[in-house]
Amino acid sequence: MNIRNTAIVAALLSAAAISAPANAQVSGIATADTSVAIARSKALGTAYQQIGTQYAAVAQQMQTKRQEINNLNAQLDTNKDKELTQAELDAAIKAKNPLLTQIDAKQKEMNTLQDPVILAQLYAVEQIALKYEAAQQAVITAKRINVILAPDAFVWAPESVDVTAAITAELDKAVPSVPITPPAGWRPSRQIGALYQQIQQLISAAAQQQAAAAQARPAAAPATPAPQPESR
């Protein structure tokens, strides 16, 4: 995930950005999306904001590196149409252009910079995920659910079948906040890594929707000038 998104993650994880029906009434069968339930939790939004603040300097460094990479890529754009094509890249590789080495080195520097950010995000996700099963069980008991299936298991279902929002509400009660500093040597499990990727995709999609909505808004009409008295 681009590190700059950490500062706006709370807004992107709002009900408007990642929707899930609230107050679902269920009888027997339900559906829930684990990644959406965790992504919309208050604890994750707060954790991502804290991470964005803690690593603000890193975000600036990464932005600088990103611009440097863009400048190097522009030099490989031989027809200067501001788009580096595969053909232009292949030509640079064939010619063993030294710019490619510089780009690779700067990309590795970016990866090193963002590693602690991603690790902090992964740790926050894990702390919430550890409470997920209990939150889900609370919803199962309250709504007398017999079966919970993944959303893609249904060809069609009414919105009332989705208990994702109810699980998020239980998570908010069970884990209002989480730490963002993993213990020394901590590494996420493969399952947490996969869950994290799903959440990052949700955030990215929400950001794209927000950007598209902003572009779709009509520009404010210029103010109509007040009529001036006629000159004589």
The mean-pLDDT minimum among 7-11, 71-75, 156-160 falls in 7-11
Is 130:13 a contact under the CB 8 Å cutoff? Answer: no
Q: Which H or E element spans position 145?
A: strand 145-149
Query: Is 220 among the domain residues?
Result: no
For the chain, the straight-line distance linking the first and the last C-alpha, in angstroms and rounded, comes to 66
- Give the total number of structural domains in the chain: 1
> What is the C-alpha to C-alpha distance for residues 213 and 230, in angstroms, rounded to an integer?
44
The arithmetic mean of pLDDT across residues 203-218, rounded, is 88
Whether 146 maps to a domain, the answer reads yes
pLDDT, position 216: 85
Task: Tell whether 11 is covered by a domain.
Answer: yes
Q: Does the pLDDT of residue 8 top 80, yes or no?
A: no
For the entire predicted model, the pTM comes to: 0.79
Q: Domain span at residue 169? A: 3-54+117-210
Task: Name the more confident of 218 and 199.
Answer: 199
Query: Does residue 195 lie in a domain region?
Result: yes
224: in domain: no
- Average pLDDT of 208-212? 89
| Residue 62 counted as domain residue | no
- Note whether residue 87 is domain-resident: no
Residue 135 forms part of a structural domain:
yes
Place of tokens 């890249």: 89
